[in-house]
Amino acid sequence: MTDTTSNGTMLSADGTPLKVSLARALRRQKIRALMLIAPLLIFVLVTFIVPIASMLFRSVENDIVSNTLPETVQTLAGWDHASGEAPDEAVYEAMYFDMFKAAEAKEHTKLGTRLNYENTGTSSLFRKSGRGLSKIGKTWQKPIESAAKPLKDGETWFAMMSGSGSNAVLEERRVLWQNLTGDPFKGEVGITLSDDMVAMLPKTAAAYADWAIFEALEEEKDISKRDPWEAVYTALGLDLMSQETQAAVASYSGTGAEELRAVIAALDTLPEADFKGAFIDMEDGWADPDVWRTILTYSPAYTSGYFLNAVDMKKSLDGFEARPENQQIYMTLFKRTIWMSIIITTSCILLGYPVAWLLANLPLRSANVLMILVLLPFWTSLLVRTSAWKVLLQDQGVINELLVWLGFVADANRLALMHNQTGTIIAMTHILLPFMILPLYSVMKTIPPTYLRAAKSLGATNWTAFWRVYFPQSVPGIGAGSILVFILAIGYYITPEIVGGTEGIFISNRIAYHISSSLNWGLAAALGSILLAVVLVLYWLYDRIVGIDNVKLGG
Amino acid sequence: MANTASQKAFVEFERVQKSYDGENLVVKDLNLSMPKGEFLTMLGPSGSGKTTCLMMLAGFETATHGEILLDGQPINNIPPHKRGIGMVFQNYALFPHMTVAENLSFPLEVRKFGKSEREAKIKRALDMVQMGAFGGRRPAQLSGGQQQRIALARALVFEPELVLMDEPLGALDKQLREHMQFEITRLAHDLGITTVYVTHDQTEALTMSDRVAVFDDGRIQQLAPPDQLYEEPENSFVAQFIGENNTLEGVVKSLSGDKCEVQLDGGEVIDAKPVNVKAVGDRTRVSIRPERVEINKDRLQPGAHTLKAEVLEFIYMGDIFRTRLRVAGNDEFVVKTRNAPDQVRLTPGTQIEIGWLPSDCRALDA
Amino acid sequence: MKTKSLLMTATALTVAAGAAVADDMTLVSWGGAYQASQTKAYAEPYIANNEGVTITWDESSAEAVAKLRAMNEAGNITWDVVDVVAADALRLCDEGLALELDADEQLAPAPDGTSASDDFGDLLVSDCFIPQIVYSTTFGYRTDMVPEGAGAPDDICDVFDLETYPGKRSLEKRPINNVEWALLCDGVAKDDVYDVLATEEGQERALAKLDTIKDSVIWWSAGADTPQLLADGEVFIGSTYNGRLFSAIEEQKQPIGMMWDAQVFDLDGWIIPAGLSAEREARALDFVYFATDTQRLADQAKYISYGPARASSAPLVGKHADLGIDMAPHMPTDPNNAKNTFLYNYEFWADYRDDIDAKFQAWLAQ
């Protein structure tokens, strides 16, 4: 029952406007439909969209540099990288404190590994330097402790550093720890840093806060009883070297005033503030401007570096440049992968078409037997199938033995059927053939034999009938099969690895290498993303040329 | 009627047999001869061998034994595409990837016609089936009836002398089918094409054909013009298959010339016209068409035979009444009477007497 | 840094005090004969001593670093003790994925009281790594394919000598070892190899030397490849792990000989993933303490021809458990075999692996 109100809106039986009532009914239906597909939607999201998104993200993500060396990266921004000189003291000082923290949290070697992908030698430079840092610290700690004995004791430090204040420094440093380790670093540190101290000894306060947070939250210790680490002494020494601080200390009367004045009195026993020298002493590599250029190049949180590497380029501070020729490999592999995938797809069409035709046209019983033969390869593992090809194709393999025995080839001139592209093409065509045959078969099954009869009755020879009437109708099957085979082929790596030798390997082999061996996941992700883009472009081209409506996986 | 004995045969089947498995014959000893210009329908239930015959004629099946002649030439060894026979398939078999015009162009292209000639012929063929405006469409964009017309046009466009149609109207609804039946016969007669038409629909067969070959069990049971087939069926299969028919079973009691006496299984003895009985004592089925039975005693013609009957059911069908009776133990005895002002409407349970002329009562094989 | 040892003392105490210790343990190894030797020498006796403990094997050592990194990212580490080569242990330690240990506190001392760190000596190449065996990558050759007139190959440079020893070679599809051998045969003194390799020219020089045999090389990526290629007669000489060659020669009786010159020693051992729960970590430490003591390491050599990593185990190496032959002469460390050896340079390859590998792969693809 509907009524019409004076202004013309339709009302439903209970007086609500018809449109509202309809919308409500439809919404209920939509929600119910959504609930039905929700499990699938979540499944697709979790298993498909999320990994792809995470891969895309990983290929540009680069915050490890700025998270591990936050202050170094800031200081380094002022360096004239074109000068050909290593940066100045301030950068090395920042590096010392950043690296010290990173070494304590065992994060510095990760960064070393990361940067080693870009600049060979960085890995051991970081690993060795991590060990050397405490030595630098000791050169500060010892004279300070002998100048002011109470500073040996963590309780003195705690008393000196705590007081009243906003604790802003502590919170600031907490965020840095979170960035560095990825751990939450939540909870009470157990100290309020005195604002006066923060103002008077800024470096010391920062270093002490770093230590306090790590000690309290990571090691779960009571910081009021523990001795701070070497870097805190280094920071104190640096602070006390400034005239300003000395003046402030002179008028300071709180806890530790006496000790601080004692250290100032003994300043000449402290080492020179020469971190640059200390770093270069420790490892020659630190004098190399290339190391610093690499750090600077990769200091932004996102980088195009992985993608540039993936196309045989190199990111530099002035943009990008081609890699030296003896390192160029990925473009070759991309081209080869696409080219060989096309060959494999073509051979699958040539071999699969007649088989699919037989399947679709033989009497049911023989067709079933043939179908089992087609599907048989699916029942054995990929590795077994590929290894079987090895037995067939190798120099002393079945095919060569047979050819030699028949006298077709000389014993000394056996055909090279594997460890090259031929091997990859043969084995992969075999392995992927069912993916061509099945869609072809399912399309051919829907082409009634009357079309061929009709064509013949209209005067066409067998060939004309096939070519002009049957073949065009099977094209959707060829399209579907080709897309399947091509996309599978482009991502294959086990078979090329086993039978492909050096000429027959695909880009996926390098992706696998970077995932499982070199652990350069960023580069692997960039290569994978490019591969995905290539597939999408080819798909788009296919759509433009053949039309995607023209793809049928089945009736 | 195109059928004249003087014309020489255009299509001939001579003792043709066909077996698929080497054990059973699908077509048994088929002999058929049809003159040029004839419209012949092969009618029969499914599995009766009619489609196999058509396929042998088209060349898609080979005869296991015997000879098929086209215009005097044996064609057993000629491949289908060289036979020059037009064919319309059950589901039209229009090529879905080609437009209507391309479909029609196909037989002309393979025959190497020039472009202009092709276009002229296509236009003529499309106009012929009143589809001139549809040349650019794809088959999927046409209705069933339109597709049917295109299929017809395609089979005719290269001007074959013989056209085969394999249940071409099966997929159409009743009204359209009747319309197309008319159009096909008109075209066939106008163009003077020899047509072999396969169907299992007897109405179609009766309305369209010059002659109908009734198939059953791999044999032609009767080959005759439609009226003869209906009124003078030569055996009980044809009598049953064509139109509605009442049968009474019995034994031949006496047989002399064009008369015989049959003792029905219920004991009654009736006169009948012997058609397919050979000797006294043979079992027989007596066949009487429902419209030839008179239920009004007053209208019985002299010499009519009468029997007692009980009315079981009365169905009002508009133009006619259909009355089901029990006659001589047969509960399915049907009588059709014309709806006339003076016609009686019988109520079930009434005992009446019915009658018919012995000449309408054909004694056939049991 | 000091917290580390404190933490470990704590875990050692929990084991000693019989506190909560996990019963299920997943060990990761390489599969095949090697894993079988570990099962027999370590796992079975360990289970016999510790009732209720179950051990699951996972054959993922080849991808251990990648998988551990993925597990760590996912926050769900399912492995308890992982067998890896020393280079991988180094990387796992660098990445913070493996637990750092104190050898003297957490590993068994030698029977004569020598501390574990002295017993293992230089082989403790990383704080996270507990060495098990010394294996070597060396060459095997077909004894029946040695050309007439030429002696059996006994010099690494015979691999590069296509004139005297024609035929295919199999080398691992990575630069490590191959470039060292190439430089050695290009006249670089053994002590200078890594200095030369650290330079661009040195790397090119190594690849240029490999270029001379490139067309005759089949590149392998699985340890089983070379023994198979040798058995099939596909190659004359090829590099692989010495244990694989031992089983081809002694167990399968293939006509293969060993060429020990310039064999490259490498280490394989255990790591414990970082971030295990206290109970699982305690169990893992307990297992490792048992499995790497002097007797257990010597026992493993009964099943496979790899040298035990402890100095104190060497005198205990006896006969093969099934074949009954003396194992000592088959050990890579046997003085007769170890006349000219290399030790895998972990530091160098940690730095240069990616760089030289890129060049090597580009060279391969040329």
Residues of chain A with pLDDT under 50: 1-2, 555
User: So what's the pLDDT on residue C7?
Assistant: 42
Q: In percent, how much of chain B has pLDDT > 70?
A: 98
Averaged confidence pLDDT in chain B? 88
User: So what's the pLDDT on residue B5?
Assistant: 43
C137-266+335-365 — its CATH code? 3.40.190.10
Tell me which chain A residues have a C-beta less than 8 angstroms from the C-beta of B164. Answer: 457
* Nearest CA among A465, A456, A450, A467 for reference residue B78: A456
Query: How big is the CA angle at A257 (ends A251 and A262), to the nearest 5 degrees?
Result: 105
User: So what's the pLDDT on residue B86?
Assistant: 92
Tell me which chain B residues have a C-beta less than 8 angstroms from the C-beta of A473. Answer: 95-97
**Residue ranges per domain, chain C?**
2-128+272-330, 137-266+335-365
Query: Alpha-carbon distance B98 to B137, whole Å?
Result: 9
Contact C218 A219 (CB under 8 A): no
User: Is A382 in the C-facing interface, judged by CB distances under 8 Å?
Assistant: no
Contact B86 A457 (CB under 8 A): yes
User: So what's the pLDDT on residue B174?
Assistant: 85
Contact A329 C358 (CB under 8 A): yes
Q: Tell me whether domains C2-128+272-330 and C137-266+335-365 share a fold.
A: yes
Averaged confidence pLDDT in chain C? 89
Mean pLDDT confidence for B263-292? 87
Specify the long-range contacts of residues B220-227, CB closer than 8 Å, at least 24 apart.
B220/B30, B220/B31, B220/B32, B223/B32, B225/B1, B225/B3
User: Is A516 in the C-facing interface, judged by CB distances under 8 Å?
Assistant: yes
Residue of B nearest to A470 (CA): B95
Domain spanning A330-550: CATH superfamily: MetI-like (1.10.3720.10)
Contact A396 C233 (CB under 8 A): yes
Tell me which chain A residues have a C-beta less than 8 angstroms from the C-beta of C71. Answer: none
Query: Alpha-carbon distance A432 to A488, whole Å?
Result: 8
Tell me which chain C residues have a C-beta less than 8 angstroms from the C-beta of A519. Answer: 65-66, 69, 91, 95
Residue of A nearest to B157 (CA): A458
Tell me which chain B residues have a C-beta less than 8 angstroms from the C-beta of A547. Answer: none
**Domains of chain B in sequence order:** 9-236 (3.40.50.300), 245-365 (2.40.50.140)
Tell me which chain C residues have a C-beta less than 8 angstroms from the C-beta of A396. Answer: 232-234
Q: Which chains touch C (3 or more CB pairs under 8 A)?
A: A
Q: Give the tokens for residue A441.
A: 């078969």
Please answer whether residues C333 and C134 qualify as being in contact, where contact means their C-beta atoms are separated by less than 8 angstroms. Answer: yes
Q: Report whether pLDDT(B109) > 90.
A: yes
Residue of A nearest to B93 (CA): A451
The residue of A365, A457, A473 whose CB has the most chain B CBs within 10 angstroms, and thus the best one to mutate to test that interface, is A457
Q: Report whether pLDDT(C6) > 50.
A: no
| Nearest chain B CA: its distance from A516 CA (Å) | 50
Please answer whether residues A105 and A180 qualify as being in contact, where contact means their C-beta atoms are separated by less than 8 angstroms. Answer: yes
Which range (B146-160, B164-178, C246-260) has the least confidence? B164-178
User: So what's the pLDDT on residue B268?
Assistant: 84
Contact A123 C350 (CB under 8 A): yes
User: So what's the pLDDT on residue A554?
Assistant: 55
Strand (E) or helix (H) holding B31: strand B25-35
How would you classify residue B318: left for phi > 0, otherwise alpha for psi between -120 and 50, otherwise beta?
Answer: left
C-facing residues of A in 43-72 (CB < 8 A) are none
User: Is C347 in the A-facing interface, judged by CB distances under 8 Å?
Assistant: yes
Amino acid, single-letter form, for residue A300: P
User: Is A116 in the C-facing interface, judged by CB distances under 8 Å?
Assistant: yes
User: So what's the pLDDT on residue A17?
Assistant: 83
Q: Give the pLDDT band of residue C18 (cuts 50, 70, 90).
A: low
- pTM for this model (two decimals): 0.82
CATH fold of C2-128+272-330, please?
A: D-Maltodextrin-Binding Protein; domain 2 (3.40.190)
Mean pLDDT confidence for B150-176? 89
Interface of A with B (CB under 8 A): 448, 450-451, 453-461, 464-465, 468-469, 472-473
Q: What is the ipTM of this complex?
A: 0.86
Give the closest of A110, A117, A124 to C350, CB-based. A124
Q: How many CB pairs under 8 A join A and B?
A: 65
Please answer whether residues C126 and C217 qualify as being in contact, where contact means their C-beta atoms are separated by less than 8 angstroms. Answer: no
Contact A519 C66 (CB under 8 A): yes
User: Is A501 in the C-facing interface, judged by CB distances under 8 Å?
Assistant: yes
The residues, ordered by sequence, that sit 6+ positions from B310 with a Cβ below 8 Å of its Cβ are: B325, B326, B349, B350, B351, B352
Give the closest of A121, A124, A326 to C359, CB-based. A326
User: So what's the pLDDT on residue A550?
Assistant: 67
Q: Report whether pLDDT(C2) > 80.
A: no
Mean pLDDT confidence for C76-80? 95
Q: In percent, how much of chain B has pLDDT > 90?
A: 40
User: Is C360 in the A-facing interface, judged by CB distances under 8 Å?
Assistant: no
Query: Alpha-carbon distance A196 to B167, whole Å?
Result: 105
User: So what's the pLDDT on residue A7?
Assistant: 61
Contact C94 A519 (CB under 8 A): no
Contact A454 B87 (CB under 8 A): yes
**Residue ranges per domain, chain A?**
3-58, 70-297, 330-550
Tell me which chain B residues have a C-beta less than 8 angstroms from the C-beta of A446. Answer: none
| Nearest chain A CA: its distance from C96 CA (Å) | 6
Mean pLDDT confidence for B193-216? 92
Q: How far apart are the first and last CA of chain C?
A: 48
Q: Report whether pLDDT(C50) > 70.
A: yes
Q: Give the pLDDT band of residue C12 (cuts 50, 70, 90).
A: very low
User: Is C63 in the A-facing interface, judged by CB distances under 8 Å?
Assistant: yes
Contact A326 C362 (CB under 8 A): yes
Q: Which chains touch B (3 or more CB pairs under 8 A)?
A: A
Query: How big is the CA angle at B264 (ends B262 and B270), to the nearest 5 degrees?
Result: 45
How many angstroms from the chain centroid is the CA of residue A542? 29
| Nearest chain A CA: its distance from B81 CA (Å) | 4
Interface of B with A (CB under 8 A): 58-60, 79-82, 84-87, 89-91, 93, 95-97, 106-107, 110-111, 154-155, 158, 164
